[in-house]
Each structure stands twice: as C-alpha cells, then as structure tokens.
Amino acid sequence: MTTALWIGTRKGAFMLRPAARRRAWKLSGPQFLGHIIHHVVQDPRAPKVVLIAAKTGHLGPTVYRSSDGGRTWREAAQPPAFRKASDGAQARAVERVFWLTPGHSSERGTWYAGTAPAGLFRSEDGGERWQPVAGFNDHALRPKWFPGNGTPDGELTHSINIDPRDPKRLYIATSPGGVFESTDGGADWAPLNEGCAADFLPDPNALYGHDPHCVAVHPRAPDRLYQQNHCGIYRLDRPERRWVRIGRAMPKQVGDIGFPIVLHPADPQTAWVLPMDGQTVWPRTSIAGKPAVYRTSDGGKSWRRCDRGLPQSQAWLTVLRQAMCTDGRTPRLGIYFGTTGGEVWAGANDGESWRCIGRHLPEIYSVTHAV
C-alpha cells in the first residue's frame, strides 16, 4: 500500500510522498497556491476521489473535487450555503468550509461538510451539489446552542463521525457549542456533553456550550468515542451519555489540553494526543517549549510520553485539530502531524520516534493520509 500525506495550508495544498523505505519524503505542489485550504480528504470508498475545502482572503468559500487522485480539480456546482433567510430571520452565510467527511460506506457519493458559522451540509453526488442539513442548521434550539458570541474564528462545525454500523447515527462537534448526536440521519439532534468540563461557562453542569476540539469514533468499536476538548481529554462508551475525563491521568505539569486526537485503526484502547499550553491567555504552544506526543494503550488509564527525535527545548509548536493523522498501516503504525510553523513530523512505530519530513511550508491546517 502506498502512503501519501495531503497537507492543507493557509496558502495552498501540498502532498508528501515517501521515497524508498520512507527514509526521505518528496514534496509536491502547491496546488491552489494562495488559497486557504482547511481540509483535504480522500474518499476511502473511491480512492481516486479527493475533496478540498477552500477559500481565499477575498472570495467566498467553496469545495473542489478531483476524480483522478488530485491531478485535476473541478469546483462544486453548488458549494455549501445556508438557505435564503425569510424576512426578519437571521441571515447566515457560510464563511468557510472547515471540515469534510466521507459518508457511510453503504452510501457511495455521500459526503458531509462542517462550516463556520456552525453548519452541517450533505452532498449525495460526490461533492458536486451540497444541501443544508436543516435538522441541524435550523434546529429550534439552535439560538441557545450557538448564540453567536463571537469567538475569533467563528463557531466551527467539525469532527463529523458516522457510525459504521448505521448511517443514520451521526456525531458532530461545534466549537463552541458542544458534541451533538443524531440517530435519524440528521433530522433531529441532541447535545451529548455530560461529564465534560466547560470552565468558561457559569454553569458547571451545562448541557451545551462546551468546546470540543476534536471528537473521533473508533472505526472497529463504534461505541467507543474519544474527545480532545478545550477542557480536557475524554472517553465515552455508549450507550453511556457521560464522558469520563481520561486526561486526569496525564502528568500534572503537562495537563490535558490540545487540539487533535487520533485513534489506532484497529485497537480501541490506543489513541494519541499532542498537549498544548492552555494556561492563562491560552498560548496553545507545546508545553514549556518541549513538544511531545502522548499515547495511551489502555483507553486512557495511563499515558506514555513520546518525544524521541522531537526538539528538546525552545520549540513552540502549535498543531491544529485536522493536522494529525495515522497512516493506517499496522503493525508499526505511522503517526504524522503538521505545525502552524510549516513543519511536518513523522512518528515511526506507533509514534515512538520522530523526525521532520517536511519544512518551510505555510501555516498547516490539515494533515490527512491518502493511499
């Protein structure tokens, strides 16, 4: 199986491919130079198909689609857009397409997109035409869930997860807003945030308003969910509704704040996070300038520091929520992350030892695996 990485950046999309034995990596691109690329996602159901979420500094947001592995691209005929507001209603417009997720394996051609401001969109024709998911975008409780209180990048809908056993069970997250679940294909939604801290809210037991940074459903054990939240790392085993803060087992001096969380493709007990500084004014850089990935192999009961090969001091990395992935190659899984400083790092053997495989790139927004 050939491995490659799609790199989405603030200035375009790039690809990294390994040369012989993955000792050296070759960078190609940019494609869409100057475009803001939030996500590049390959379709596992049809690997030649790749979707890109793009906009520029001036122009409205859109989606591009390739059906030849990224050699040529065509813009969506109908990009994600909210419905036209009736008189007096709140008139929302998509500012950016932030997240892309292929639909259920039984629904070829179906894709989901998450946007800012908070919005969920669905395409049933491979990303050509996008329709609003009205059950979420126009939910009666939306004004309570997403009051539009003006975070710097707006409310972001992301972490769109589809239960591999049931295409109608969806989990999504909105920052801020919380985790939401639908069991009817998106017609109705309910918050799923019990147990999650929200230190910034007046009500410690709030049902929504939380800030999930990244949520992942395990593909082989879909009742197991992991979450990296603004306030900790969590695990949820359905049908339970209460998240358990597994980040409590992280070293106190490191804490359990960060953006991405990635899961082992086969072992539901194993996950990786990349802690960042969430103290005072939220620097969101590696703790004390010493970047490290942490791995749990027991569902969050304990965490192992993996920093061999990473800089040992004065390295103030920030890694965003889409910018970490695995290559799916077991055993000896490869873990990858990209930094806002334009470096790509590869962690061999389940993330045990790291080396930089790409540098001098623009600010990295996403790192995704392609075959």
Partner 1 sequence: MSCTVRIPSPLRSYTAGAATVPAEGATLDEVLASLEQRFAGIRFRMVDEQSRIRRHIRMYVNTDEVTALSQPVRSRDVVHVICALSGG
Positions in the binding site for partner 1 (CB under 8 A): 56-60, 62, 75-77, 79, 81-85, 91-94
**In this complex, which beta carbon is closest to partner 1, that of residue 74 or of residue 332?**
74
Decide: 297 and 270 in contact? Cβ < 8 Å: yes
Query: Is the peptide bond prior to 152 cis by the omega test (within 30 degrees of 0)?
Result: no
Distance CA 214, CA 174 (A): 9
**In this complex, which beta carbon is closest to partner 1, that of residue 59 or of residue 141?**
59
Distance CA 296, CA 94 (A): 37
In whole angstroms, the minimum distance from the beta carbon of 75 to partner 1 comes to 5
List all residues 6 or more positions away from 348 whose beta carbon is below 8 Å from its beta carbon: 22, 332, 334, 354, 355
In whole angstroms, the minimum distance from the beta carbon of 78 to partner 1 comes to 9
Decide: 284 and 318 in contact? Cβ < 8 Å: yes
In whole angstroms, the minimum distance from the beta carbon of 343 to partner 1 comes to 18
**In this complex, which beta carbon is closest to partner 1, that of residue 82 or of residue 336?**
82
**In this complex, which beta carbon is closest to partner 1, that of residue 58 or of residue 252?**
58
**In this complex, which beta carbon is closest to partner 1, that of residue 128 or of residue 237?**
128
CA 79 to chain centre: 20
**In this complex, which beta carbon is closest to partner 1, that of residue 33 or of residue 187?**
33
In whole angstroms, the minimum distance from the beta carbon of 107 to partner 1 comes to 25
In whole angstroms, the minimum distance from the beta carbon of 95 to partner 1 comes to 9
Alpha-helix residue ranges (DSSP H) falling in the chain: 134-137, 142-145, 348-351
For tokens 């199986």, the residue is 1
**In this complex, which beta carbon is closest to partner 1, that of residue 119 or of residue 334?**
119
In whole angstroms, the minimum distance from the beta carbon of 86 to partner 1 comes to 11
In whole angstroms, the minimum distance from the beta carbon of 57 to partner 1 comes to 5
* Residue 50 vs residues 42, 155, 269, 288, 305: alpha-carbon distances, Å: 4, 25, 30, 38, 34
List all residues 6 or more positions away from 205 whose beta carbon is below 8 Å from its beta carbon: none
List all residues 6 or more positions away from 51 whose beta carbon is below 8 Å from its beta carbon: 39, 40, 41, 43, 63, 64, 65, 66, 100, 111, 127
